[in-house]
Homo-oligomer: A and B are copies of this chain.
Amino acid sequence: MKIGEAIKKYRVRPGEKVDFRTIDASDCSLFANGGKVESQAVFDELRDELQALQKVLYAQNKHRILIVLQAMDTGGKDGCVKHVFSRVDPQGVSVKAFKKPTEEELGHDFLWRVHPHVPGNGQIVIFNRSHYEDILAVRVKKLFGDEVWKRRYRHVVEFERMLAEEGTTIIKMYLHISKDEQKRRLESRLANPAKHWKFNPDDLSDRARWDDFQRAYEDLIEKTSTDQAPWFIVPGDRKWYRNLVVARIMVDTLRSLKMDFPKPAWDASGVKIV
């Protein structure tokens, strides 16, 4: 997987049509010379590089990185965070998971609960679910009238434009799994008592609306993939490949910032420790 290849292949260009039925969730075409075992060394190298890049990011205290992760249930958001970021200093990376909004959150605009958690200088923040749930779930589950989620497309685009123009690099990733793969993963959660806590009977009612969710996601990604905040559709059926692609996109994006450790204001050779 060469530098830039994953970004080029999986990035949704502004205005591009999205049809999940034509996107193979088990694609692993950028690593044709092997599978999970063969990719391990490459993945390890990417993780080392990510770790090194985060150090500079933190030291330079200038850029802000926001990663938005969305997927259907069992899509792999948690696993992806765990594997890709496991070597990065937790001091500079935080994960913010968004659950069902509270009554107080519903008493404010939908970005109110999100905005306080965006990254500051030198930070990486990962949104595990995000403001996009307040378009997607609101639409599919008809929580409010249609005018609400429709207006919110503009709100998120302008919100992200503001964040980007003020200095935030935004990467939005949709982890794309097939309906069959979701079946396998849900069954595996049911079969393993140690995974029961991850199973929620509500997931089944969402699964029953699979097609509605898929169409809503396609529309959402089409309308909100912009130059300043692009969406990536990452094939998610093979976990090793998904992790490889996410790590590659992260590394390539951070590299493109051309960061450097800040020059000290003093001369290191002139300092004596006595």
Contacts and interface: CB of A to CB of B under 8 A. Distances in A.
Contacts of A108: 64, 118-121, 166
A118 to B, nearest CB: 7
Contacts of A166: 108-110, 155
B115 A162 contact: no
A201 interface: no
Contacts of A155: 158, 161-162, 165-166
A116 B120 contact: no
Most buried by B among A109, A119, A151, A154: A109
Contacts of A61: 107
Given A104-B120, A108-B118, A158-B162, 7 more contacts: A107-B120, A109-B118, A110-B166, A111-B162, A112-B115, A112-B116, A154-B161
Interface of A: 61, 64, 104, 107-112, 115-116, 118-122, 151, 154-155, 158-159, 161-163, 165-168
